[in-house]
């Protein structure tokens, strides 16, 4: 099978590429990535050595370029990870999120219609459901929870989900959608909570916690997300949505303290900073459907996954040092200097 993976030079896309290359060596993986600030060819170094892997530097919103890749590579399945993915950046520049996350999704699905692709899979997020209150631990997001977004990022992802459902119903496109909770693991761009805290702690910098630090995220090790998507594209039913999560709720403050403890640092570096605008309070996924229908289960416990992740950052300075020296420095200054 020929599988197009968009956004494969980013965090989850790359982890999925490596998962597929190992689990299904008989398949061909074709990566499409624009290489924005979040895309990194160094992440794909090992994949580039394999014959069954190819790479195209293409913007998913560039119709002519996307059609050309489909024409050349003749894919059977398309898995769309490519997105602008950071909530804080979406608050500064919503327009880029609409262009990639909404227009890009429609271009990819048009290509799927034009070239008769067997399955289009949209990698979505639990953030499309909005947030849950902290004082109702009994409430979880199911696939039936109404879409109710808070940030330009989540609104763009929800818009894309609605388009996917519309293409399924109107054109009979064979589609699936996965909505996963927060991921963590190797190759996570340093702007996100866990890698940011690991790298700041390593450099004895302040650890900026937004608001009161009580916001809750439901953390899943990235390899478990890759395994879920692999199952969905091969066994999931067309037109369906699958929630993905491992019942791993943690407050941000708890996560930050766990990082410090694992690195043997005290908590004096924690600094409470101005809250994110529209900050979602709590996310929590009910994964019953994918467990029951596809037999998926998370395999990595949070403590084990965090330890693996920290070890990975400790041993991959060559991956993150160039990122910290580049445009990320300006981003960090702008976002955190007067917060
Ligand atoms: P990321 O920001 O690390 O990577 C995104 C990748 O997409 C980068 O390689 C970037 O170069 C590429 N890209 C961006 N715009 C593009 C365009 N116009 N054309 C082609 N490529 C483009 O993101 P991530 O964290 O790996 O997230 C991947 C997907 O998973 C996203 O769709 C995101 O919404 C979703 N998701 C993420 C999480 C999470 O915790 N990170 C959780 C659930 C769902
Ligand atoms: P993030 O990793 O940006 O993921 P998302 O917003 O998609 O959940 O943030 C995770 C949580 O951590 C979120 O509640 C915001 C918070 N956060 C901080 O407190 N400080 C930070 O520097 C960052 C980047 C995030």
Q: Which residue's CA is minimally distant from atom 23 of ligand 2?
A: 193
* Count helices and strands in the chain by DSSP H and E runs: 14, 12
Cα 225 from Cα 75, distance rounded (Å):
22
C-alpha–C-alpha distance, residues 216 and 253, integer Å: 9
Work out which ligand 1 atom sits closest to the CA atom of 100.
18
Residue 332: active-site member: no
Single out the residue of 19, 23, 37, 26 nearest to residue 2, CA to CA. 26
Ligand nearest to the CA of 219: 1
Query: Cα(336)–Cα(339) distance, rounded to whole angstroms?
Result: 5
Quote the CA–CA distance of 56 and 330 in Å, as a whole number: 28
Residue 13 CA: nearest ligand 1 atom is 26
Is 16 a pocket residue for ligand 1 (Cβ < 6 Å)? no
Radius of gyration, alpha carbons of the chain: 19
Q: Is the CB of 182 under 6 A from ligand 2?
A: yes
Two tokens, residue 242: 């699958």
- In tens digits, the chain (339 residues) has pLDDT values of 999 999 999 999 999 999 999 999 999 999 999 999 999 999 999 999 999 999 999 999 999 999 999 999 999 999 999 999 999 999 999 999 999 999 999 999 999 999 999 999 999 999 999 999 999 999 999 999 999 999 999 999 999 999 999 999 999 999 999 999 999 999 999 999 999 999 999 999 999 999 999 999 999 999 999 999 999 999 999 999 999 999 999 999 999 999 999 999 999 999 999 999 999 999 999 999 999 999 999 999 999 999 999 999 999 999 999 999 989 999 999 999 988
Interacting residues of 289 by C-beta distance below 8 A, sequence separation 6+: 142, 143, 242, 243
Check 59, 84, 126, 191 and give the catalytic one: 126
Among 123, 263, 140, 93, smallest CA distance to 194 is for: 263
From the list 332, 307, 88, the residue with the least C-alpha distance to 190 is: 332
Domains and CATH numbers, the chain: 2-187+220-247+282-299 (3.40.50.720)
Q: How far away, in angstroms, is 192 Cα from ligand 2 center?
A: 6
φ/ψ of residue 28, rounded to 5: -105, 130
Does the CB atom of residue 198 touch ligand 2 within 6 A?
no
Q: Taking Cα atoms as reference points, which of 61, 67, 130 lies closest to residue 102?
A: 61
Residue 126 among the catalytic residues: yes
The ligand whose atoms approach the alpha carbon of 281 most closely is 2
Give me the sheet containing 249-251, strands edge to edge: 182-184, 216-221, 249-251
For residue 154, what are its two tokens? Answer: 């989540």
User: Can you give the pLDDT at residue 172?
Assistant: 98
What is the C-alpha separation between 109 and 254, in angstroms, rounded? 40
Q: How far is the CA of 329 from the centre of ligand 1 (A)?
A: 20
**DSSP state letter for 74:** -
C-alpha distances (whole Å) from 234 to each of 211, 230, 238, 284 are 42, 6, 10, 26
pLDDT at 148: 98
Instruction: Go through 167-183 and write b for each residue having 16 or more CB atoms within 10 A of its CB, e for each that does not.
Output: bbeeeebbbbbbbbbbb
For every residue of 173-196, DSSP letters joined together read --EEEEEE-EEESTT--TTSHHHH
pTM for the full model?
0.98
151 lines ligand 1 (CB under 6 A): no
Atom of ligand 2 nearest to the CA of 125: 7
332: phi then psi, degrees, rounded to nearest 5 = -65, -45
For 300, phi then psi, to 5°, come to -115, 120
Tokens 């919103």, residue? 61
Contact yes or no for 276/212 (Cβ under 8 A): no
CB of 174 within 8 A of CB of 115?
no
Active-site hit among 127, 191, 249, 280: 127
pLDDT at residue number 329:
96
Instruction: Check residue 197 and give its pLDDT.
Output: 98
Q: Which residue in the block uniquely carries the two structure tokens 């998913």? A: 60
- Please tell me the residue having the least CA distance from ligand 1 atom 5: 10
| Other CB atoms within 10 A of residue 62 CB | 16
Reading the block at residue 128, the tokens are 């499309």
pLDDT at 161: 99
DSSP secondary structure of 17-60: HHHHHHH-TTSEEEEEE---TT--GGGGHHHHTSTTEEEEE--T
- The question of whether 127 is a catalytic residue gets the answer yes
């Amino acid at each position: 099978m020929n599988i197009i993976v968009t956004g494969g030079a980013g965090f989850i896309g790359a982890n999925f590429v490596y998962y597929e290359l190992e689990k299904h060596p008989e398949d061909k993986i074709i990566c499409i990535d624009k290489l924005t600030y979040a895309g990194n060819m160094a992440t794909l170094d090992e994949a580039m050595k394999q014959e069954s892997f190819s790479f195209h530097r293409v913007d998913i919103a560039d119709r002519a370029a996307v059609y050309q890749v489909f024409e050349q590579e003749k894919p059977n399945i398309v898995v769309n990870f490519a997105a602008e993915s950071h909530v804080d950046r979406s608050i500064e520049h919503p327009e880029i999120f609409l262009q990639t996350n909404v227009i890009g999704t429609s271009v990819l699905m048009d290509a799927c219609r034009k070239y008769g692709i067997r399955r289009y899979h949209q990698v979505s997020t639990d953030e499309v459901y909005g947030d849950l209150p902290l004082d109702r631990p009994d409430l979880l997001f199911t696939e039936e929870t109404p879409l109710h977004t808070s940030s330009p990022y989540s609104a763009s992802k929800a818009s894309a989900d609605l388009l996917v459902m519309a293409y399924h119903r109107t054109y009979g496109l064979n589609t699936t959608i996965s909505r996963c909770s927060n991921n963590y693991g190797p190759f996570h761009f340093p702007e996100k909570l866990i890698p940011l805290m690991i790298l700041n702690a390593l450099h004895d910098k302040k650890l900026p916690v937004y608001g009161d630090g009580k916001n809750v995220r439901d953390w899943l090790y990235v390899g478990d997300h890759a395994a879920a998507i692999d199952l969905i594209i091969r066994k999931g039913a067309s037109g369906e949505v699958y929630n993905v999560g491992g019942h791993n709720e943690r407050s941000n403050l708890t996560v930050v303290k766990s990082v410090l403890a694992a690195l043997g640092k005290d908590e004096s570096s924690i600094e409470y900073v101005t809250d994110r605008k529209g900050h979602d309070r709590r996310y929590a996924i009910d994964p019953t459907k994918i467990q029951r229908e596809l037999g998926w289960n998370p395999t990595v416990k949070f403590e084990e996954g965090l330890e693996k992740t920290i070890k990975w950052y400790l041993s991959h300075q060559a991956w993150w040092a160039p990122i910290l020296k580049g445009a990320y420095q300006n981003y960090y200054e702008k976002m955190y200097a007067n917060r």
